[in-house]
């Protein structure tokens, strides 16, 4: 049986065993779809304002209602999926690459590598993370790139800590000694022997951080440090609807907020499912 065959069989087993995982995978696909083709299939142009139809409650015409500028909220929520999703994925890939490598090197080689990586990590962690992100974006400027950079920086210590702990535990393990005896050099051991073993745990981290990344971007946008209007983004939309809550127009803030929640929730559930998929000890 080839490797890919058995992966598929195992995937089916994992999904069947835990229906919540299946639901999470399904939701994830839905979100990904919205991100990919959402902007093309929405009923209204997310940026088009219609002053005759401002502040309409949800109705058949406008499923999620309209905002202060008469824009259709449903279209905007769907269109915003792409931006938040892209921000989440880019920052996570970036921090996983940097933090993961830095972490396992620090945990495996110890010595100066550990000290330097540790110092960088501690310096970042000395700040309340969201505050640091605020500082970085305020200093660098309100662009999507800077949000991604800021998110990657503030998540760096977390990846480093997890990767370092995992590599450190395995550093003196029997199979690592055995790999040395088999003629593997230190770098080979790190990449071919240790890294595959920590992937399951890193997978969980990745999913969780996707959720944090979206919350972070939304939070920054909420206080005006993120994406700029009129770009549709969930955080900004909640900010735009915040003032209207007091006057009772709940739909402007609720729907983007609910979309946010759903996305983050999906990524959290996904983490556990991914770990089961990747970890060979779960295979029977």
Residues contacting 112, CB < 8 A, separation 6+: none
Minimum CB distance to another protein smaller for 66 or for 209: 209
- Tell which residue, 48, 34, 44, 43, has the closest CA to residue 80: 34
- Site for another protein (CB under 8 A): which residue of 59, 173, 187, 191? 173
Minimum CB distance to another protein smaller for 44 or for 76: 76
Give the shortest CB-47-to-another protein separation in angstroms. Answer: 23
| Contacts of 30 by beta carbon, 8 Å cutoff, 6+ apart | none
- In the complex, least distance from residue 54 CB atom to another protein, rounded to whole angstroms: 19
Which of 148, 152, 253, 277 binds another protein (CB under 8 A)? It is 253
Nearer to another protein, 97 or 186 (CB): 186
Helix (H) / strand (E) element for 195: namely helix 195-222
Q: Which stretch binds another protein (CB under 8 A): 61-69, 85-93, 100-108, 132-140?
A: 132-140
Q: What angle is formed at CA 119 by the lines to CA 124 and CA 137, rounded to 5 degrees? A: 25
Q: Does 280 bind another protein (CB under 8 A)?
A: yes
Pattern of binders to another protein over 199-238, x per CB under 8 A? ------------x---x--xx--xxxx---------x--x
SS3 label, residue 215: helix
Q: Which is nearer to another protein, 35 or 252 (CB)?
A: 252
Closest approach of another protein to the CB of residue 153, in Å: 10
- 100 neighbors 202 (Cβ within 8 angstroms): yes
CB 255 within 8 A of CB 77: yes
Q: Helix, strand, coil: what percent of the chain each, to 5?
A: 80, 0, 20
Shortest spacing between CB 44 and another protein, in angstroms = 24
Q: Which of 62, 89, 33, 46 has the alpha carbon at shortest distance from 240?
A: 46
CB-based contact 255:74 (threshold 8 Å): yes
For helices 251-278 and 3-17, give the axis angle rounded to 10 degrees: 130
Q: Taking CB under 8 A as the criterion, which residues in 98-127 touch another protein?
A: 119, 122-123, 125-127
The binding site for another protein (CB under 8 A) comprises: 119, 122-123, 125-136, 138-141, 173-175, 177-186, 193, 196-197, 211, 215, 218-219, 222-225, 235, 238-239, 241-242, 245-246, 248, 250, 253-254, 257, 260-261, 264-265, 268-269, 280-281, 283
């Amino acid at each position: 049986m080839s490797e890919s065959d058995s992966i598929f069989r195992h995937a089916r087993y994992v999904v069947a065993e835990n229906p919540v995982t299946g639901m999470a995978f399904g939701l994830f696909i839905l979100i990904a779809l919205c991100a990919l083709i959402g902007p093309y299939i929405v009923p209204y142009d997310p940026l088009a304002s219609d002053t005759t139809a401002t502040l309409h409650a949800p109705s058949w015409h406008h499923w999620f209602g309209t905002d202060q500028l008469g824009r259709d909220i449903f279209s905007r929520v769907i269109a915003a999926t792409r931006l938040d999703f892209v921000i989440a994925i880019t920052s996570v890939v970036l921090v996983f690459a940097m933090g993961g490598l830095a972490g396992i090197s620090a945990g495996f080689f110890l010595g100066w590598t550990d000290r330097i990586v540790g110092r960088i990590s501690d310096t970042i962690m000395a700040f309340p993370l969201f505050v640091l992100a605020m500082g970085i974006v305020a200093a660098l400027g309100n662009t999507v790139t800077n949000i991604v950079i800021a998110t990657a920086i503030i998540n760096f210590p977390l990846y480093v800590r997890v990767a370092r702990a995992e590599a450190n535990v395995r550093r003196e393990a029997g199979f690592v000694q055995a790999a040395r005896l088999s003629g593997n050099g230190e770098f080979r051991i790190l990449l071919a022997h240790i890294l595959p073993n920590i992937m399951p745990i890193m997978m969980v981290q990745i999913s969780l951080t996707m959720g944090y990344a979206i919350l972070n971007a939304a939070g920054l946008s909420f206080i005006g440090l993120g994406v700029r209007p009129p770009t549709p983004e969930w955080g900004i939309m909640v900010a735009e609807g915040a003032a209207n809550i007091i006057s009772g127009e709940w739909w402007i803030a609720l729907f983007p907020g609910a979309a946010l929640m759903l996305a983050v929730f999906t990524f959290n559930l996904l983490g556990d499912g991914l770990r089961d998929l990747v970890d060979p000890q779960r295979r029977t």
